[in-house]
Amino acid sequence: MAETDPLAAPLRLPCGVTLSNRLCKAAMTEGMADALMRASERHVRIYHAWSEGGVGLSITGNVMIDRHVIERPGNVAIDVTHPSSVDAAARERLRAWAAAGTVAGNQLWMQVSHAGRQSARSSTRQPVGPSAVQLDLLGNYARPRALREEEILDFIGRFAKVALIARESGFTGVQVHGAHGYLISSFLSPVTNRRTDAWGGSLDNRARLLLEVARAVRRAVGADFPVSVKLNSDDFRKGGFSHEDCLAVVARLNGVGIDLLEISGGTYEQPRLLGATGRDADAVAVRPSTLVREAYFLDYAAAIRRVATMPLMVTGGFRSRVGMEAALAGGDTDVIGLARPFCTEPDVARRLLAREIGTLPAHERHLMLAPGGWRSPASPLLLMKVINILGAQGWYYQQMDRLAVGKPPDLGRGVLRSFVRYWWDDLGRALRMRR
C-alpha cells in the first residue's frame, strides 16, 4: 500500500467543512479593483487559474470594510455605508469572483480587513487607529486620528456584515485580518494602542476588538461556515505585541469558534512577513532556532500549538516539499500557506501534489539591488532597505498583474524598475478611484 501523501490529506475543520488538501494560496494584496473599488475581470481570471492550479484553499487579499481608509489603491472595498459597494452590480462582480475562485471545487475565503493607520497618503488623507501614533516610514503616512468608541462599535458591525455578504456571494469562508499592523493588529500592540478606556491598556482590553469582531462574524455567518483569523506570532518590534501576548490571545480565541488560525508576524515597520527587517534599533531579535527553519514563523507556531485548540496554518518561507512534510508531520501546522510561488506559477500546488517538483521558486533570493553593502536589503540606510523590500514586493505584484491579463511572467524584470513601476501604478490607481 502506497504511503499517504501528507500534503494531499484532507482536513476537516471544526465547522464541519473539509479542505481537500493541506495547501493554501495565502492572501496577497491584488490591487485589481476598478475605479469604484469593486471586483474586476482580473480577479476572475487569476483566481480561476489558482483554483484550477490545485489548492485546497485560496484566501483573497485585503477586502476593506471602509472605502476611505484602504491598504492600497486597487483594494476591493465592501463599505456597507456606500451604495456602489453593495448594489446589484457590485454583488454580481463578487459572485463572479467567487465562482471563478471555486471552479475546481476548492475553498475560497474572503479576507476582511481595515487598514487602520497603515493607509498611505496616496490612499487617504486621514487614517485612523486606536491612538494618534503615526507610522514613520519616509513620510508616506499621515498621522492617524484616534477612533471614537462609537466608530469602533460600527466597525465591528461592518466586519460582520461584510462576512455575511461574502457568504451570500458564494465565497466559502472568511478570514478576519488581525495581523501585520492593520487596524485590529494595531489595537493589540501597546506601541500603537495608548488608549485608557475599555479598548486599551491591559491585554484583555487591547484584544477586545479582535474578539468582538470574531464573535460578531461568527454570529453573522452561522455555525457551519468557516471563519479564520490571521494573527501575528510577534510584531518583532520593541514594546509591541509580543509572542507571550500572542499565546494569551490564542487562549482567548479558543472559545470563539475559529476554524483556522493563520500564524504570521511583523508590521510595515518590521516586515518579517516579507522575510525582512526595518530599523535595526527598533527590531526584536528573532529566535536562533527560527533562523534554521525553512518557514519564518514555524518555531512560533510550535509554541502556539500547545495553546490553540483550532487547526493552524503557517505562511511565509516554505519552499521545499521536504520542509512542508516535516512541518505537518511534526504537528507544528495543519495547513501550509504559500503566496509568492503562485505569482509566477499558478499551478504550483498541482505540481507539488503530483510530485513533479520538490522545490518551489524563490525569486526573492535574487531580487535585490546588491547582495551586500549599503545597497542591499541589510543596508544601514532605511531608504535602501525600502527600495529593496518594495522593489521585490512590486516585482511579485507585477507578475500577478501579468497573469491576470493572460500574459506570462516577466522573470527578467529588475528590482529598481519594479520599485518605480510599483509607485507609478499605485499612484495611477489612487487617482482613478471614485469615492
Mean pLDDT value of segment 160-174 = 98
Rounded distance between C-alpha atoms, residue 189 and residue 179, angstroms? 10
The answer to whether 338 and 315 have CB atoms below 8 angstroms apart is yes
The answer to whether 135 and 269 have CB atoms below 8 angstroms apart is yes
Domain span at 189: 8-362
368 lies in a domain? no
432 lies in a domain? no
Q: How confident is the model at residue 205, as a pLDDT?
A: 98
Number of domains in the chain: 1
Q: Fill in the DSSP letter of residue 200.
A: S
**Set of cell numbers at residue 94:** 463578487
Q: How confident is the model at residue 298 (pLDDT cuts 50, 70, 90)?
A: confident
**322-366, pLDDT tens digit by residue?**
999 999 999 999 999 999 999 999 999 999 999 999 999 989 889
Q: How confident is the model at residue 270, as a pLDDT?
A: 60
pLDDT greater than 80 at residue 281: no
322 lies in a domain? yes
The candidate with the shortest Cα–Cα distance to 303, out of 277, 273, 330, is 330
Q: Is 152 exposed, middle or buried (0-12, 13-18, 19+ CB in 10 A)?
A: buried
Residues forming beta bridges with residue 15, ordered by sequence position: none
**88-144, pLDDT tens digit by residue?**
999 999 999 999 999 999 999 999 999 999 998 888 889 999 999 988 766 678 899
- Helices 41-52 and 382-404 pack at an angle, to 10 degrees, of 80
Residue that wins the pLDDT comparison between 125 and 81: 81
The answer to whether 46 and 359 have CB atoms below 8 angstroms apart is no
Q: How confident is the model at residue 297 (pLDDT cuts 50, 70, 90)?
A: confident
278 lies in a domain? yes
CATH number of the domain that 269 lies in? 3.20.20.70
In angstroms, the Cα distances linking 137 to 42, 102, 143, 335, 367 are: 30, 38, 11, 33, 21
297 lies in a domain? yes
Q: How confident is the model at residue 289, as a pLDDT?
A: 46
Question: Rounded to the nearest 10 degrees, how much is the dihedral formed by the CA atoms of 40, 42, 43, 48?
Answer: 130
Length of the chain: 435
Cell 523590500 belongs to 389
Q: Fill in the DSSP letter of residue 367.
A: -
Helices (DSSP H) in 189-236: which residue ranges?
A: 203-206, 208-221
421 lies in a domain? no
Cell 529566535 belongs to 287
pLDDT greater than 50 at residue 214: yes
392 lies in a domain? no
**Set of cell numbers at residue 340:** 509568492
413 lies in a domain? no
Task: For the full predicted model, state whether its pTM sits above 0.75.
Answer: yes
Q: How confident is the model at residue 291 (pLDDT cuts 50, 70, 90)?
A: very low
